[in-house]
Every structure is written in C-alpha cells, then in structure tokens.
Chain A
Amino acid sequence: MGQFILKRLGESLLVLIIGSMLCFAFIRMLPGDPAAAMYGDQLQKLSEADRFRITENLGLNEPLPIQYGKWLGQVLQGEWGVSSISGEDAAIVVAKSLQPTFLLMFSAHFFVFTLAVFFGVTSGLCRRSLYDHAVTVISFIFMSIPPFWFALMLMVFFSVYLGVLPTSGMGEGGGQLRFILMPSLVLALSHAGYYIRLLRNHIAITKDTGFVFALKARGISEWTILKNHLLPNASIPLLSYTGMSLAVALAGSIVVETIFSWPGIGRLALKSALAHDYPVLLAVILLSMVFVITVNLLVDLICAWIDPRLRSQLLEEGRR
C-alpha cells in the first residue's frame, strides 16, 4: 500500500510541475497586463512608458522561462509572491478565501449526498414506478436549469418574498447557516441529479443480481440487504464520480460565489484573472490542482478500503 501511495504521489508531482508550467505560459497569453488592469476603465490614459515602468516594477519584463524559474524557486521556499492588486502576500490572500470555499463545498456536498442517497436508493428500488419517473424528471430539470437563474429565483422567493434569508454575503459565527443555505442549495441541486441517476441505476441493477435473491431467500431483512450489500456496492461508483466531479464543482462555484457575494476561491480566481494578478492566480490554480489530486487519491484509497477486489488490484499495481 505504501508503495502505491508513493507512486501516486510521484505522479502527482509531475502533474503539478507540468500543470504549473502550462498555467504560467497560458495566463501570459491573455490579452492585457497588470498595468492595464490597474487603469481599469481609464485604460486610454495608460502610456507605453507607464506600462513599461509598472511591468518592470512587478518584475515581469524578463524572459518567461527565467520568470518561471524564479517563481518556482520562491514557491519551493514557500514564497508565493505579492498580489499586484492589493500588495498582500499571495499565500495569505488565497488562505483567506479557502475557508469560505471549503465551507460551501462541504455543505453543498452534504446536500448532494443526502439527496443522492435518499432519492437514488428509493427510485432505484422502485424502478419504473411513477415515483421513479418523477424523480428522474425533476432531477433532469435541476440539472438543466442554469445555476445563476436558479440562484436569483431562490433569492426572490426566500429573501424578497418571504424575507427569511439574506440574499448574499457570508455572515459570522452561528448566523452563517442562514447565509450558506441558498448558495449550497444551488450548487447541490445543479449537481445532485447526476449522483441520483448514478446511484439509481446501480441500485436497480444490483438488486436484481443473484446474490441479492440468495440473501432474500435466506430470509435476510430487506433493510439489512440494503445497508450491508446494496449501499456498499453502489458507493464505489459514487465515490469515484465524486472525485471526478469535484473539479467541475470548483469551476461551478465561480458563478455561485459571484451571485451570492461569497468570498471564496472561485471569486478570487476570477478576480485575479481579470486583474492579471499573476502570483495569486497561479497560487489559486496550483492549490485547486493539489486539492483535486488529493481528493482523487483519497477516493482511490477509500474505494480500496471498501472493496477488497480493488484493494488487491491496487496492491498489485504498487508492486509493479
């Protein structure tokens, strides 16, 4: 197992280095530069001399490979550079927006799993019933509604019409629960459909297999069959899918965070991309990569822990 983890870590490092190189090159290809961003809608006032001066002040006049080398050297020493918009340490800027995003991701996935397990299992067990069709139709509706529109509709209903939830912001302490409800619901409902479909199909297929009939024949209660056999079986594809869809969820959070003024990593990525704040943007991208890679590694490990077949397969790979 240790060998397997080591191997995966080695691969991850390679992915990170290649990814950071690509990002470094690609974000410089975006039209514009930090000086232009600083002038904003007064861009016409930016003279070539000032553009050169500011770019030089930020150390961006050197050849790209040299800049990359310097940046990598600093990053390896834990120096992420300084934000060109706020002048703050990029690591601190990113760290500040991590907690809100984790909070949002966590509560959204709490909803996703609750919905998925409940509706996926029930509709899988009652396949082709009216209930199953209703769940299918409703989950398709939520999958296809654009999140920004859905978010506004929720705001109109809960904040303007009922007046029970704040439209946006993050709040503090215990009050955060009210602030996080709508954004996580929007994120959750736009994703839950995929999970529900996945689980439903898996349950529906597994419940007709021979071993389930055999268990039933032995008089094992249906609840026990579900708890001990159907759910663990279905959890493998669900977990693998979670690992894959996390990147999508992170990307989707940009829209939700913007609409709900949620000060998370998605907003930060968008903001630093628009402002050409390279140190912060690179830190955000790299961090998201680390996050996605780590979660996928964890998912593999958990799956191996649940499923002995996968475990032996992984151990086999590790030895090779």
Chain B
Amino acid sequence: MYKNYRKFLLAAVAAAGLAGLAGCSEENSKPADSTQKKQLIYGMDSEIEKVNPVLDESQEIDTLLFRGLTKPDKENQVTPDLAESWEISKDQLVYTFKLRRDAKWQDGKPVTAKDVKFTFDQIKNPATNTPIAGEFNEIKSVEATGDYEVKMTLHRPFPSLLDKLKIGIVPEHILRGENMNETEFNQNPVGNGPFKLKEWGSDHTIILERNDDYYGAAPKLDEVVFKAVPDANTRALQLKTGEIDLAIMEPNQLAGVKENDPYAVHEVSTADYRAVMYNFDLPLFQDKRVRQAMNLAVNREELVKGVLAGKGEAAYGPLQKSWAGASQKEAYTYNEKKAKQLLADAGWVKGSDGVLVKDGKRFEFELVSPIQDTVRVVLANVVSEQLKPFGIKAVPKPVDQHAVKYDGEEALIIGWGSEFDPDDHTYRLFHSSEIGDGQYNFGSYRNEKVDDLLMKARTTANREMRKTYYKQFQEELAVDPPYNFLVYLEALYGLNKNVTGISTRTLGHHGFGVLWNIEEWDKKVN
C-alpha cells in the first residue's frame, strides 16, 4: 500500500520542481527594453493615495509633478522656479511675483497667475482637508494682477514665505468647481513639473515618465517609479536584489550592508532635532539655573552613539544647520561639576532617597514621549537615566501619540527644525505672542530679550544684521533655555550604486525632500 504513496510523493515533488523551474526561466527572459530605460525605482514605506500639493506637502512625488514659485538650491537658499523674479515691499508685507511665460500644464495650457491664486485660495479654503493650511496663515490675500503677475499680501512680515512657496501650483482650469478632497484629479494629476504620470497601478505603484515640455532642465532619467514596500526589512532586501534603487533605511539595518552589495548608504544631514521641552506653567522650571544645569547634565555624545547608532549629531541649539547658526557648544556640553554647582546655587539639596529637594518639594517631573516614535521613547529613557545621578527625577512616560497634550505635559520630547529661513522654526516656537491654540509655543516660554531679537530678525532685510540678531538670540537661549536640545537626526538613504545625483542638501524632517534635484539624477544602464 505504501508504495503507491511513495510514487505519488515522488510525482508531486517532481511536479513542484518543474513548476519552480518554469518560474525561473521566466525571470531570465525579462523584456529587454526595461533594462535599457533609465528608470529609478523608489521603495516607499507607504502607498501614495493621492497626489495634490494642496492636500499634502510631505510627498516626494509632488516635486516631480508640480513645481511652485520658488525652489531651494543646494544650500537651501531660495531660487526662482515658476516665478522668474519678485519684489518685496519695504514693510515686507507685499510680494510681487513675475511668472515665467514658458511654463505649461501637461495638457498644453499655460501656467498663469490665475493658477497661483487658485492654489492658495484652495489651501485656505475651510472645506479643504489639508494639514498645510497652517504653514500659510500669514498670507492675507493673493491677487492675479496680470496674466503673469501675482501680488501676495501678508498679515505680518514672514521671512520664510519664499521658502514655503516651493509648494506646487495646481491647474485652475481643471480643478475649478471640483471638490478638492474627492476629485478624480487626485489620482490622475496633471502637473507642470519635470515628470508626468504614465501609469497608476492597482497596487498603488506609480510610474512617472519624463515630461518633454518641461520648462526647466530636462531630467536625465526616463522614468521614476514609486513603489510601496511597507516592510523595512523587505526594502533592505530589495535594495540588495536591485528590485528598488532608493529607499530610506533604519540605523539598525546598516550592519547588513556589505561591500559588494549593489547599493550604498548615504547619510544625509537633516534640520530635524529632538529636545526636551519644558512647560513653563510649572514652578519647577522657573529658575534659569535649573534648566542650565540640565543642559550640562545631559551627555549628548552618548545619546548620538547609543540611541542613534552614531547616525546623528549633538544639538547645540535650534539653528545648527542654518546659515544663521551660532553654536553654543559649551552651554550644552556635559559638565558634572558646573551642573551640580548650579543646582546647589538654586537651593536644591539632595534628600535621603537621592532626589533633590527644595522647600519641601522634590525635583520630579514627567517626561512624555509618543509611544509610536521609538527614538523619542528611548531618548526620554536615556535622558532620565543621565539626570538621575544629579538627583533629578525625570519619570519617562510614553503615551499614545494621540494622547500627547503638547501644551499640557510637564515636559516632553519634541521634534522641530526647519531647513529653511531661520525664522521658520524660531519665531513660532519661542516668541511669547505665539502661545495659544494653533500656535507652536507649547511650553509658554516668555523672554523679552528673545521676543525682541526674533522680531528684529524677522523684520530686517539685511542678512548680516539678521545673522547678528540670531547669534544674540542663540546666546540668550543658552542662558534661559526653553528646550534642552539633544540631538540632530540624520536620514539614511540606500541608493543603487548605478544611480548618481543624490545631493548633500540638509533635508527636512524624516529626510523629506531627497528628490528635490531630480533633474540631476542619472542612472547607468548596461
């Protein structure tokens, strides 16, 4: 009886083997044209659901399809894009842009001032579900003063406006009257950028091809493919097999990268920093000396090495990556003696359990971090351990990111940092007029000197003057710290060795913006 089964087994194994072989031979007979094309395949951690710059700013694909009035250069300075030139009024409240006349939508219609007005009207339209409206709060109105002339009026001087205007412009003639949240345009975009949509696959793989009518420098690549590969380990394997050319990586994956792999890892610096934010409603944090002491009690090199696997930098202030950066290294470097001295000067004495006490109050606070962000959770834990020998009890409290009350926690690990104008993530974070809902001075930090310097820096046009103001501002932050700046993150991009063009421009949060110079990217094909 068993003999029959053995024969059956043998046949089954043979059949399976044959099926496998058939599969293999198919692989080898890949169509030849796909290898000839210069195709960049980008493996992303999530699917692209919609493409519309008005609805979402943080998608790399936007830059390829939609161009804005300005664009950043290698040094993150503003350069003209759709706008060839602009004039700024003396009071810095009125911007007049002259648009270039050779820009076309991919359906052949010209890009005009009407499109610009339409785009910003839609961003500010309350019916539009967009997370970026807050970025353009300072814009009072946008007027098309001619076919190719736009006048933008602001509520207040806003130096980072020009940086923000890199946001893609959308076509008014297609979108007028459409419901922005649900229009079919979002899955069938018509843009003005260097690439255009070729195919939007049912598995959310998006293929873009070169737009030969693009007004700027012609891209060297023929196609860019956006493919969702949600699992980080799968992405690393696909870089190894060459199925994808570009993907963001995690520090713990670097050990698996070998010399003869077809890809190399690029460490790109970002303006994204992590810090401990204090809540100034708490009496505990009122004394400057206490916060200075905590700055000195944290060993930032250890954080970089231990938490970020060496892929980052110690943070010495909010503007480290900016042209206005003036490092206050000493104030943020571990100094046990000085820290203890400052705490003693402030009247804190160690109690019986090793925790500092003053007037019967213990030096104890909760240090909140969003549980979904591992780096922040670990930072909270390590900082808490580092403060412990000084008698400071920071109790790490990881909570669901939706439960974090940014203006209500005692202290929390916060992330900010802008790659653009130094005003961007300073005025809004540290100026006392920015306290309240929808504003970002969550800790209610108040310092008249800082207010004054930030206001001056914001309203001055002369760059050297601004630089001086920002230097003084950073010095004051070291004396009266709003945050305990910890580390700057680095973005790790795995890139196929045949691909060139990735730049060293400082990127935004989570390494956003890596494809900003896509026209210069190239790929060697055999």
Question: Which A residues touch B525, using CB under 8 A?
Answer: none
- Whether B402 is near chain A, meaning CB under 8 Å from some CB there, is yes
On whether the beta carbons of A50 and B237 are closer than 8 Å, the reply is no
Q: List 27 A-B contacts (CB under 8 A).
A: A31-B402, A32-B401, A33-B402, A38-B130, A38-B131, A39-B131, A40-B131, A42-B58, A44-B406, A47-B437, A87-B50, A114-B12, A122-B9, A155-B234, A164-B24, A168-B231, A168-B234, A168-B238, A177-B23, A222-B4, A223-B4, A260-B234, A261-B203, A261-B229, A261-B231, A263-B204, A267-B230
Q: Contact check: which of B12, B47, B182 meets A87 at CB < 8 Å?
A: B182
Further pairs besides A47-B439, A49-B437: 14, Cβ < 8 Å: A35-B129, A48-B437, A49-B438, A86-B187, A87-B50, A87-B182, A118-B8, A121-B5, A160-B237, A163-B27, A169-B205, A174-B26, A177-B23, A271-B46
A87 and B131 contact, CB distance less than 8 A: no
List the B side residues contacting A47 at CB < 8 Å: 134, 437-439
Is B12 a contact partner of A167 (Cβ separation < 8 A)?
no
| A96 in the interface (beta carbon within 8 A) | yes
Q: How large is the interface on B (under 10, 10 to 19, 20 to 34, 35 or more residues)?
A: 35 or more
Residues of B with C-beta under 8 A to A242: none
Closest residue on chain A to residue B231 by CB atoms: A259
Contact A178-B12, Cβ < 8 Å, known A46-B131, A48-B437, A169-B203: no
CB of B526 closer than 8 Å to a CB of A: no
Residue of A nearest to B128 (CB): A57
Q: Which residues of B contact A156 (CB under 8 A)?
A: 237
Contacting pair A45 B134 (CB below 8 A): yes
Residues of A within 8 A of B183 (CB): 87
Q: How far is the CA of A164 from the CA of B370 in the complex (A)?
A: 42
Query: How many angstroms between the C-alpha atoms of A166 and B227 in the bound complex?
Result: 14
Nearest neighbor of B401 in chain A, beta-carbon distance: A43
Residue B440 interfacial (CB < 8 Å): yes
The smallest beta-carbon distance between B359 and chain A, in angstroms, is 34
| A267 CB contacts on chain B under 8 angstroms | 230
- Interface centre among B9, B204, B439, by most chain A C-beta atoms within 10 angstroms, is B204
Contacts known (A86-B49, A155-B237); A53 close to B202, Cβ less than 8 A: no
Contact of B510 among A41, A121, A170 (CB under 8 A): A41
Q: Is A125 an interface residue (CB 8 A)?
A: yes
* Contact indicator A85/B50 (Cβ below 8 Å): yes
B442 CB–A CB distance under 8 Å: yes
Most chain B CB within 10 A, of A159, A165, A261, is at A261
| Contact between chains at B12 and A118 (CB < 8 Å) | yes
> What is the bound-complex CA distance between A166 and B203, given in angstroms?
15
Residues of A within 8 A of B (CB): 31-33, 35-36, 38-50, 53-54, 57-58, 82-88, 96, 100, 114, 118, 121-122, 125-126, 152, 155-156, 159-160, 163-170, 174-175, 177-178, 181, 222-223, 258-261, 263, 267, 271
Does B108 touch A at the CB level, under 8 Å? no
Inter-chain contacts of A168 with B (CB < 8 A): 229, 231, 234, 238, 243
For the complex, give the distance between the alpha carbons of A170 and B125 in Å.
39
Complex Cα distance, B210 from A254, in Å, reads: 35
Q: Contact partner of B234 among A50, A122, A261, A271, CB < 8 A?
A: A261
Residue in B2, B202, B227, B234 with the greatest tally of chain A CB atoms within 10 Å: B234
Is B133 interfacial (CB-CB < 8 Å)?
A: yes
User: Do A57 and B127 have beta carbons less than 8 Å apart?
Assistant: yes
| A271 & B47 in contact (Cβ 8 Å cutoff) | yes
Q: In the complex, which residues of chain B have a beta carbon less than 8 angstroms from the beta carbon of A48?
A: 437-438
Q: What residues of chain A lie closer than 8 Å to B49, measured between beta carbons?
A: 83, 85-86
Q: Which B residues touch A44, using CB under 8 A?
A: 404, 406, 414-415, 440, 442
Q: Is the CB of A82 within 8 A of B182?
A: yes
Query: In whole Å, how far is B22's beta carbon from the nearest beta carbon of chain A?
Result: 8
Smallest CB separation, A102 vs chain B (Å): 14
Interface membership of B181, Cβ < 8 A: yes
**Contact across chains for A57 and B129 when beta carbons are under 8 A apart:** yes
Q: Which of A32, A46, A160 contacts B241 (CB 8 A)?
A: A160
Q: B403 contacts the other chain (Cβ, under 8 Å)?
A: yes
- Looking across the interface, which residue of chain B has its beta carbon closest to that of A163? B241
The contact of B50 among A86, A170, A259, A263, by CB within 8 Å, is A86
Set of chain A residues within 8 Å of B442, measured between Cβ atoms: 44
Distance in Å: Cβ of B412 to nearest Cβ of chain A: 9
Interface presence of B186 (CB below 8 A)? yes
Query: Which residues of chain B have C-beta atoms less than 8 A from A83's C-beta?
Result: 49
Tell me which of B230, B403, B510 contacts A31 (CB under 8 A).
B403
Q: A86-B50, A126-B2, A164-B24 are in contact. Are A259 and B234 (CB under 8 A)?
A: yes
Task: State whether the Cβ of B217 lies closer than 8 Å to any Cβ in chain A.
Answer: no
Closest-by-CB residue of A relative to B16 is A114
Q: A44-B442, A45-B131, A164-B27 are in contact. Are A152 and B203 (CB under 8 A)?
A: no
Query: Taking the complex as formed, is B177 at the interface, i.e. its CB lies under 8 A from any CB of chain A?
Result: no
Contact A152 B237 (CB under 8 A): yes
Task: Return B373 CB to nearest CB of chain A, in Å.
Answer: 8
CA gap between A167 and B234 in the complex, in Å: 7
Cα-based distance from A223 to B333 in the complex (angstroms):
82
B237 in contact with A122 (CB, 8 Å): no
CB within 8 Å of A: which of B412-471?
Answer: 414-415, 437-440, 442
Contact residues in A for B130 (Cβ distance below 8 Å): 38
Chain A residue numbers with a CB within 8 Å of B8 are 118
B509 at the interface (CB under 8 A from A): yes
Contact A152 B233 (CB under 8 A): yes
Does the CB pair A167–B23 fall under 8 Å? Answer: no
With a cutoff of 8 Å between Cβ atoms, the chain A residues found around residue B50 in the complex are: 85-87
Most buried by B among A50, A58, A125: A50
* C-alpha gap A39/B24 in the complex (Å): 44
**CB contact list, B88-121 vs A, under 8 A:** none
**Listed residue (A33, A35, A54, A82) with the most chain B CB atoms within 10 angstroms of its CB:** A54
| B:218-243 near A, CB below 8 Å | 227-231, 233-234, 237-238, 240-241, 243
A15 to chain B, nearest CB (A): 31
B126 within 8 A of A: yes
